[in-house]
Structures are given as structure tokens and as C-alpha cells.
Structure 1
Amino acid sequence: MKQVDNIPAMSEAALVEVLSSSLYPGAEKNSVVMVLAYCQAAHLDPMLKPVHIVPIWNSKTKKMQDTVMPGIGLYRIQAARTGQYAGISDPEYGPEVTAKLSGVDVTYPEWCRVTVKRQMSNGLVAEFTANERWLENYATASRDSAAPNAMWKRRSFAQLAKCAEAQALRKAFPEVGSAPTADEMEGKAFEEAARDISPQPQIQSEADALPAYSDDLLAENIVKWQPLIDSSRTSPEHLIATISSKYTLNPEQIERITNLKALDGDAV
């Protein structure tokens, strides 16, 4: 460790104790050691907390695993160090959407757009824009729920803005790396793409199967399913497969569900 002025450098064990009690309270000592190793390898000051310890669900080991990940602040620092960082736009948001996810009422922006500027070697300023959708980024409260966790529910706009900014910084400054930030991965899992967290239609018991899919009630369900399909959280084919796994749908009912189409919204 370096010595600053006349203050002797801390031992690694002492620094781990300081980090554990201040910047990473409650974290396992081994995880804090990983933070220290990360910072040393990247020549970062660990006291600035450039990285975070994020518990990530590992689908192979079936348990949570502490993972050291860069924070959005580190991306900003690295972009500034290039001497070519020319600013960032205020986040732009799409329309607010209100939906019920696993019984929880949630209001969130449909998308967020952020632009990062970089001054190129020829003097021109290039703009790099990233557009991120809330439904593709938010973290769920648990493995078996489609409801957002507390942070994504309380700060739905700010959390999405961080994800959009991180993506824009990666596009503008590819040398900062390609790893996702802690804000993007909090509450998620390795091999997340393989997990389907789409809200499922409420299926009644076997005894109520036929009444549940009479013409009148089917029409009512279609009204409820349309927003799910419009937001790309599910599809007519997925609905049919889910329902058909338990109940028998006649051809007319299958056709009516198949005819549900997502709205052609403006490209963002």
C-alpha cells in the first residue's frame, strides 16, 4: 500500500476491516477481499467505492453468490479519465405505464433514453444514444414473483436512467469494459435470459375449467391479457400453451386468443 504524507499505509487486513465496517457493512469478509483485489488490479481507490458487492442467483449452484461489479460511478470516472468525455443528456422517458405484476400495482416509464457525448480525435463531438425499456431491466422481488423489488418500485425512473446511462457509456467508451453495472444486475441471476418471469394469466381450478372459458369470460380475460401482449411480457402463443396445458380450448377460442396483436407503437 502507498504511504500518504506521513500517514503509514494500512495493511490489507486493516483495510478489509475498514471497508467491511464502513462502505460494505454486512458483507462477508471474503467478498470485501474480492473488492480489494478488483480495485488493486484496476488501479482504483477502494475508498471511493467504485465497485459494489451484488448477491446474484447462480442457477447452476442454486444459491446466491456475491459478485463484484462496477458501479455507474466507475463508468463515469473511466469516461472522464479519457479526456474525451463531453457530457451527457438529461434522461428522456417514455409514457408512464401502470400495471399489476404478481398482484402489486406498479407505475413505471415504458422506456428511458440517454445520450453520452465524446469528443473525437478530429475535434468533432459524437453522440451515443442508448434506449432501455423498464420491463427488460427491472429486478424482481423474488425468484417466483414478477413484482419489482423495493428499489425498482420506489425509484422506477432513476433506476432505469442508470441502466440507460451505463449502456450509453459502454457505447461511447468501449474501453471502459463490457461488464454490466451493479444497478443493472441487482436482484437478477446468471443466465437470466433462460428464466421466464412473465406474469401468467390467472388459471382457475380444473373443476372450473369450462365455466372459466365460456365466451363471456374469455372475452373478459382477453381484455386483461391484451396489455401483457402489448408490453411484450407474453404472447398469444404463450397464453395458448399455458392454458392448453391444463384445459381444453376449442378452435374458436384458440383463434380468438391468436388474434390478439401487440400495438405497433412508435420506435424509440
Structure 2
Amino acid sequence: MNKTMNTGNGVVTAGSKKGWLTQEEIEVVKKQFFPPNAKPEEMNYCFEVAKQFNLNPITKQIYFVPRKSQDDNGMWHEKIEPLVGRDGFLAIAHRSGKFGGIESTSTLKEVPKLIDGEWKMTTDLVAIAKVWRTDSQMPFVVEVFYSEYVQRKKSGEPTRFWAEKPHTMLKKVAESQALRKAFNISGLYSPEEVGVGISDTGDVIIDTETVEAQVDVEAENQKLIQQEIDALAQLGLNCEYKDGFVKVVGSTYGKTNQLRSLGYSYHTNKKIWIKKLSA
């Protein structure tokens, strides 16, 4: 029996065991489409996303890519995330039964840009994507700008894919966004939006020259922990860090408001002030 998921403007059929991947195929994906250090919970999450949208990693509709990202508290994490290529978004659109076509172009355009506190007209490369639905008279239109999406090295130069194929990269971003907009697809991003390149053969190539790829996760997290140590020291307090939590050490009498302003919560059962820094 198939499971269906309402996307708001159309119904997308998510795969059953027969229509998605067999257990044998899942084992192949685990071995060949995930990095060696992938955690079981990360793989399970990626598989669940792929299954919900009926996307096949073997045919490169969806990719499982190691990325570095910050949580809401500023802590950096290295984790595997599902990214959907343009063909994956197209597959979702086709299965809705309401896909009416897609068109994309790129051009130079005069756009306002804030420079040194003053708005000025500048020339930017713009990709425009239009997606039609059979149940809508007007297309869904998205414009994306090169200056907002180009991935750069620390030197400021565009990274390999953006230097060699700026029109292609920008149009992929526009097309992915237009398809998401037209078919109300949320929670999925394309590789091109997050600094990951896809070769002509469909292979994932993580551009290690992007700023994101240069993040030293351990060093950045240590800086954040040190900030907490310094902030508590101003209150005459010490702290302990363990498993993503900072625990206040010392007498907190009369310091309730200050601790709350720093984001700490009081746990009455353990009688401690703690703050979660990581997931």
C-alpha cells in the first residue's frame, strides 16, 4: 500500500517498499553512497527523507552529503544531510500529475545594492526560472542573483564550479527554488545552494575551497565554550562542559536574572543551572 503526502497544492506519492528501495538496495546505498564515518542515526534520517519524497539515491535524485553547519546556539556540527538535485525536484513535480513545464534563462541586470551604507545600482548576473502547473494560469517565477549565491574561497575568488559554470550553477539554484515554490516542497535544498557541486556525470564534488569547508569545528566550538566561561567568570562563577551542556558551578545566589539573560535554565530536580550549546 502506498503512502501519500499532501504537499498543499498537489499530492505526491511516497514510495512503498516495492516502489522505493529493496533491503538489498538499501545496503548498497549504505556502503557506496555514505561516507565511511556516517552514523546510523544520520543514515536513518537521510533514508526517511528519501522515502517520504520517493527519491532514489542510486539514480542520483537525492544525495547524502557531509556538511558543517551551526545550530541555533552557534555550535558547529559535522553531519550527513540529504540534498536534492534539480532532477529530484523534477521527479517530485512529475509525480504530482500537475507539472506543466519549466523554463530558465540567465541575463545581466541592473539591481540595487547597499555599498558602504548607500544604495547604488550595480550589474549582477541573474537567473530566472519559471515553472508551470496544469491547474494554474500563471507560472511560478523565481529570480536569483549571482552575488547572493556564488561560493567563494577565503581569497574572495569564486570556487571551481562557480568560476567555470556560473550560468549553469545559478540556473540550477533558480530552477530548484521555482520547483519548490510551485509544488510547496519544504525542508529540502539543492547542492548548488549550499556550496556542493555536481559533476557532469552526476557525482557529488564538495568544493573544499568554500569558506564553509574551511571551518575547524573543534576550534570554533572551543571559542564558543570559552565565551561562556568568560561570561560566567564576570559573575564570579565557574562552569563545566559535558555532552553539549554547560553547567554552572558555584553559588548562584542573587544571580538569577543575569543567568537567565545569558540563556541558562534552572532545573529544580537537580538544583543546577544549565545551558544547552549543542544538539
TM-score by length of 1: 0.51
SS of the residue 1:47 aligns to: coil
Indicate if the aligned counterparts of 1:119 and 1:126 stay in contact, CA closer than 8 A: no
1:79 corresponds to which of 82, 89, 93: 93
Q: Quick one: distance in 2 between partners of 1:49 and 1:28?
A: 21
User: Are positions 1:129 and 2:141 aligned together?
Assistant: yes
Matched, 1:19 2:25: no
For 1:166 and 1:3, locate their aligned partners in 2 and report how far apart those are by CA, in whole Å.
Answer: 28
What residue is the counterpart of 1:173 in the other structure? Answer: 183
Give structure 1 regions of 4+ aligned residues with deviation exceeding 4 angstroms.
1-4
Distance in structure 2 (CA, Å) of the matches to 1:150 and 1:54: 18
Query: Which amino acid in 2 is paired with 1:131?
Result: E
**Alpha-carbon offset, residue 16 of structure 1:** 4.5
Q: Which residue of 1 is the match for residue 263 of structure 2?
A: none
Q: CA deviation at 1:66?
A: 2.3
Q: Establish whether residue 115 from structure 1 lines up as the match of residue 161 from structure 2.
A: no
Report the equivalent of 1:242. Answer: none
Per-residue deviation at 1:33? Answer: 4.5
- CA drift at 1:165: 0.8
Whichever residue aligns with residue 155 of structure 1, its letter is K
CA–CA distance in 1 between the matches of 2:48 and 2:60?
Answer: 13
More strand by share: 2
> Whole-Å Cα distance in 2 between the matches of residues 51 and 63 of structure 1?
21
Count of aligned pairs between the two proteins: 165
Cα shift readout 1:136-189 (whole Å, capped 9, x = no counterpart): 012223xx4432221222211101001111121122221x22533222112575
Q: Could you say what the CA RMSD is over the residues aligned between the two structures, in angstroms?
A: 3.2
CA contact (8 A) 1:16 1:32 kept: no
Q: Which residue matches 1:153?
A: 163
Cα distance 1:21–1:150, how it changes in 2: closer, same or farther (>3 A)? Answer: farther
**Structure 2 portions without partners, runs of 5+:** 1-15, 111-122, 197-210, 213-279
Identity of aligned residues (%): 21
- Describe the SS at the equivalent of 1:139: coil
Q: Which structure has greater helix proportion?
A: 1
Shift in Å, 1:118 = 1.4
Deviation string, structure 1 residues 208-260 (Cα, Å, up to 9, x no partner) = xxxxxxxxxxxxxxxxxxxxxxxxxxxxxxxxxxxxxxxxxxxxxxxxxxxxx
Residue 170 of structure 1 contacts residue 178 of structure 1 at CA under 8 Å; is this kept in 2?
A: no
**SS in structure 1 opposite 2:189?**
coil
How far 1:15 moved relative to its partner? 3.4
